[in-house]
């Protein structure tokens, strides 16, 4: 699949590039820092590529030093910026990106992003430029890794917001339906729902019954609770629509709230900073060993690397035991 050179601790490989692509995630900057400093420590020059694959094709490329990534580990977002660029699926566009890599003498690439970003990394590897993917996605929706970069921070951000919502919900004895991110993956809703003591969690992976949820809320109020909370993954239904459906089965004073893109921002947590640092350093080591077309992950607290091709045929498996756990505790 790839034209692999057996690089030995920087003996032959002199320059690598790094870009962030797709939706931003807290911890991306920490990963860029880890890649940069690990590469420099091994005698390899590092070039940053702004605006993802769009910047690669446009040649928005600059050399980075240790100072470039100073004071970046604590910052959210990505200082390399990001852009969605579906045109990179076209071979002629990929070849334009490769022309830019050749122009700057870049021999390998680290790509931080999600599914679409991985497709680009695979294409580059097939064209002879080894590329390693790092899982940057707050949704935690990438296979073969227990956690993605940004997931823990997004969960903490959502939890803190819902804690504040619960204060006002209690003051007015209201039910709040809160949308958290997760179009096709309910991991944020599962973790945040348990952490905030939600009466119900609604995710794409599990069937739900709005009437049953309404009965749970009624029983909670009958038992002396002063508020109700339903956490809904955005991919299931809009919070306002869910609230309206819920009101068909109960006379609640209800409100809908959408947390939306606030979950992408903020300083990364300790867990995300450490995870990003470990993954970034591991990506460089893989490239130094001449490997490409791989996606880095972490399973059972151990770093792993799978063929990117494997990821396209697999589906992330969340901890769905949290769903039944929460149902039991909400009774």
Residues 196 and 47 reside in one and the same domain:
no
Q: Does residue 10 have a pLDDT over 70? A: no
Q: Does residue 5 have a pLDDT over 50? A: no
| pLDDT tier, 8 (very low <50, low <70, confident <90, very high otherwise) | very low
* Domain presence at residue 139: yes
Q: Does residue 9 have a pLDDT over 70? A: no
Annotated binding site for ADP: 33-37, 166, 197-199, 225-227
Annotated binding site: 23, 33-37, 84-85, 114-117, 137-139, 166, 174, 181-183, 197-199, 225-227, 234, 255, 261-264
Overall average pLDDT of the 94-118 stretch: 94
Domain that holds residue 72: 15-150+268-313
Residues 138 and 33 reside in one and the same domain:
yes
Q: Which residues contact 270 (CB under 8 A, 6 or more apart)?
A: none
pTM: 0.94
* Domain presence at residue 61: yes
User: What is the pLDDT, as a whole number, of residue 2?
Assistant: 35
**pLDDT, tens only, 239-259:** 999 999 999 999 999 999 999
* Domain presence at residue 1: no
Residues 32 and 140 reside in one and the same domain:
yes
* Domain presence at residue 8: no
Residues 257 and 157 reside in one and the same domain:
yes
Residues 34 and 59 reside in one and the same domain:
yes
User: What is the pLDDT, as a whole number, of residue 12?
Assistant: 75
**pLDDT, tens only, 214-242:** 999 999 999 999 999 999 999 999 999 99
Annotated binding site for substrate: 137-139, 174, 181-183, 234, 255, 261-264
User: What is the pLDDT, as a whole number, of residue 317?
Assistant: 87
Residues 220 and 196 reside in one and the same domain:
yes
> For the domain that residue 130 is a member of, what is the CATH number?
3.40.50.450
Higher pLDDT, 8 or 287: 287
Annotated binding site for Mg(2+): 115
Overall average pLDDT of the 271-289 stretch: 97
* Domain presence at residue 331: no
Residues 51 and 109 reside in one and the same domain:
yes
Residues 200 and 220 reside in one and the same domain:
yes
Whether 60 is a known active-site residue: answer: no
Residues 162 and 72 reside in one and the same domain:
no
* Domain presence at residue 88: yes
> For the domain that residue 245 is a member of, what is the CATH number?
3.40.50.460
* Domain presence at residue 218: yes
* Domain presence at residue 325: no
Residues 199 and 220 reside in one and the same domain:
yes
**pLDDT, tens only, 144-197:** 999 999 999 999 999 999 999 999 999 999 999 999 999 889 999 999 999 999
User: What is the pLDDT, as a whole number, of residue 4?
Assistant: 35
User: What is the pLDDT, as a whole number, of residue 11?
Assistant: 52
Residues 198 and 208 reside in one and the same domain:
yes
Number of structural domains (the chain) is: 2
Residues 180 and 198 reside in one and the same domain:
yes
Exactly one of 24, 60, 71, 139 is catalytic; which is it? 139
| pLDDT tier, 116 (very low <50, low <70, confident <90, very high otherwise) | confident
User: What is the pLDDT, as a whole number, of residue 201?
Assistant: 97
Annotated binding site for ATP: 23, 84-85, 114-117
């Amino acid at each position: 699949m790839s034209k692999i050179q057996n690089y030995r601790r920087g003996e032959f490989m002199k320059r690598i590039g790094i870009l962030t692509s797709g939706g931003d995630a807290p911890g991306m900057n920490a990963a860029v820092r880890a890649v940069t400093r690990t590469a420099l420590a091994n005698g390899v020059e590092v070039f940053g590529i702004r605006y993802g694959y769009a910047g690669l094709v446009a040649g928005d490329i600059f050399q980075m030093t240790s100072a470039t990534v100073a004071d970046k580990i604590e910052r959210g977002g990505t200082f390399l910026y990001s852009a969605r660029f579906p045109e990179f699926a076209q071979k002629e566009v990929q070849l334009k990106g490769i022309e830019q890599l050749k122009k700057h003498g870049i021999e390998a690439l680290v790509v931080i992003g999600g599914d679409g970003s991985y497709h680009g990394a695979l294409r580059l590897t097939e064209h002879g430029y080894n590329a390693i993917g790092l899982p940057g996605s707050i949704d935690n929706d990438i296979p073969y890794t227990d956690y993605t970069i940004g997931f823990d921070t997004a969960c903490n951000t959502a939890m803190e917001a819902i804690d504040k919502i619960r204060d006002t919900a209690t003051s007015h004895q209201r039910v709040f339906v809160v949308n958290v991110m997760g179009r096709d993956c309910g991991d944020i809703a599962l973790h945040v729902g348990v952490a905030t003591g939600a009466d119900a969690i609604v995710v794409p992976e599990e069937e739900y019954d709005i009437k049953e949820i309404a009965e749970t809320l009624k029983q909670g109020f009958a038992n002396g609770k002063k508020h109700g909370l339903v956490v809904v993954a955005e991919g299931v239904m809009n919070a306002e629509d869910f609230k309206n459906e819920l009101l068909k089965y109960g006379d609640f004073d209800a409100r809908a709230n959408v947390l939306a893109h606030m979950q992408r921002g903020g300083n990364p947590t300790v867990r995300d900073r450490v995870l990003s640092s470990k993954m970034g350093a591991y990506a460089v080591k893989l490239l130094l060993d001449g490997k490409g077309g791989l996606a880095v992950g972490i399973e059972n607290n151990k770093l792993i690397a799978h063929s990117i091709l494997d990821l396209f045929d697999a589906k992330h498996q969340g901890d769905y035991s949290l769903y039944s756990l929460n149902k039991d505790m909400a009774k």
